[in-house]
Amino acid sequence: MIVTVTMNPSIDISYPLETLKIDTVNRTNQVSKTAGGKGLNVTRVIHDLGGDVLATGVLGGFHGAFIAEELKKVGIKQDFTPIKEESRDSIAILHEGNQTEILEAGPTVSAEEQTAFFEKFKELLQKATIVTISGSLAKGFPQNFYQKLVHAAAEQEVKVLADTSGESLRQILKGEQKPYLIKPNLEELEDLLGQKFSLEKLEEIQAALAQPLFEGIEWIVVSLGKAGAIAKHQDAFYRVTIPSIQVVNPVGSGDSTIAGFAYGLSQRMNTEELLKICMAAGMANAQEKKTGHVDPINVQQHFENIEVKKIEQ
């Protein structure tokens, strides 16, 4: 089973408006409200692909109940730790081709609630072969909380796919036990290393991934949006190129990449197939209106058209 971790889920609300009028009333009858947060996007896409997935994390209040209900409606297994404070809303206003977002920081999770979650997580590990960790931690958690999850998973020989950024990613990399995969996009990699990269000089990205900071991580997939990815598996490097496609909404494509990889691993795919399925899932998500959703037939079609080349060193 694949267990997905979402530590700060949200209700994602989107308001499409012709124009956004400031300092007056804007009315819409087209609101969409979905269970959101990067980890829940991962969950949905694994489910769309037909994978065996269970969502965990923390949920609070009426918002938490809504999120749980949304997952239940589509038949996704879940086992969240309840918290006292209310889970958050994330609002996106789509207007004049722009996306203006209002993101709540979300609830503060108490020390007791953190312990309760950690105990549940350790129990879930007994049934898991793969864990995905995505997105930010809610307030109250220590910065090294994800590192703690990585250690607990390593003890049970469960593979962790970690998709986080900033201090949480730095902390994970510092840990004694490493995640099985990290998937920074170019911006996240630049932020992590304090270095600028360009798509014209992929060899510089390759050199950066070979440094000791990343030692012990089986897989690093640097996703490059429409330019595909550059990946490191053990000591080998791969360039993955994808055909150009008609894009509808690329939000959540990185999450879908993680979902594709987790699904591929659960199906024991080989190196080349894993790279293809994770890119294909990202592409298929970019072609859907709904964030964190893929049509498996579309994924299969993209899979056939992706090129994986080993970079000779």
- For ligand ADP, the binding residues in 83-142 under the rule CB under 6 A are none
d(CA 279, CA 274): 9
Cβ–Cβ < 8 Å for 255, 42? yes
Cross-strand partners of 310: 238
Among 17, 202, 245, 269, contact with ligand ADP (rule: CB under 6 A) = 245
**Shortest distance (Å) from residue 309 CB to ligand ADP:** 15
Binding flags for ligand ADP, 142-181, as an x/- string (CB under 6 A): ----------------------------------------
Cβ–Cβ < 8 Å for 222, 185? yes
- Pick from 86, 139, 151, 89: which is nearest to 114 by CA? 139
Cβ–Cβ < 8 Å for 277, 32? no
Consecutive H or E run containing 103: strand 98-103
Among 82, 140, 225, 296, contact with ligand ADP (rule: CB under 6 A) = 225
**Shortest distance (Å) from residue 197 CB to ligand ADP:** 13
**Which CB, 57 or 260, lies closer to ligand ADP?**
260
Residue 82 found at the interface with ligand ADP (CB under 6 A) = no
The structure tokens 């990889």 sit at: 261
Interhelix angle 61-73/38-49, rounded to 10 degrees, is 10
Among 9, 39, 135, 254, contact with ligand ADP (rule: CB under 6 A) = 254
Share of the chain residues as helix, strand and coil, in percent rounded to the nearest 5: 40, 25, 35
Total of residues contacting ligand ADP (CB under 6 A):
18
Cβ–Cβ < 8 Å for 214, 220? yes
Identify which range of 59-67, 93-101, 107-115, 247-255 contacts ligand ADP by CB under 6 A. Answer: 247-255
Among 185, 205, 231, 237, contact with ligand ADP (rule: CB under 6 A) = 185
Identify which range of 21-29, 149-157, 202-210, 225-233 contacts ligand ADP by CB under 6 A. Answer: 225-233
Chain centroid, CA 214 distance in Å: 19
- Pick from 148, 128, 168: which is nearest to 38 by CA? 168
**Shortest distance (Å) from residue 110 CB to ligand ADP:** 31
239-251 burial by CB neighbour count: b if 16+ within 10 A, else e? bbebeeeeeebbb
Residue 229 found at the interface with ligand ADP (CB under 6 A) = yes
Among 172, 220, 277, 279, contact with ligand ADP (rule: CB under 6 A) = 279
Residue 290 found at the interface with ligand ADP (CB under 6 A) = no
| Residue nearest ligand ADP by beta-carbon distance | 254
Which residue among 12, 48, 163, 255 is the active-site one? Answer: 255
d(CA 285, CA 294): 5
Q: Which residues are known to be catalytic?
A: 255
Q: Which residues bind ligand ADP (CB under 6 A)?
A: 185, 223-226, 228-229, 242, 245, 247, 250, 253-254, 257, 279, 282-283, 286
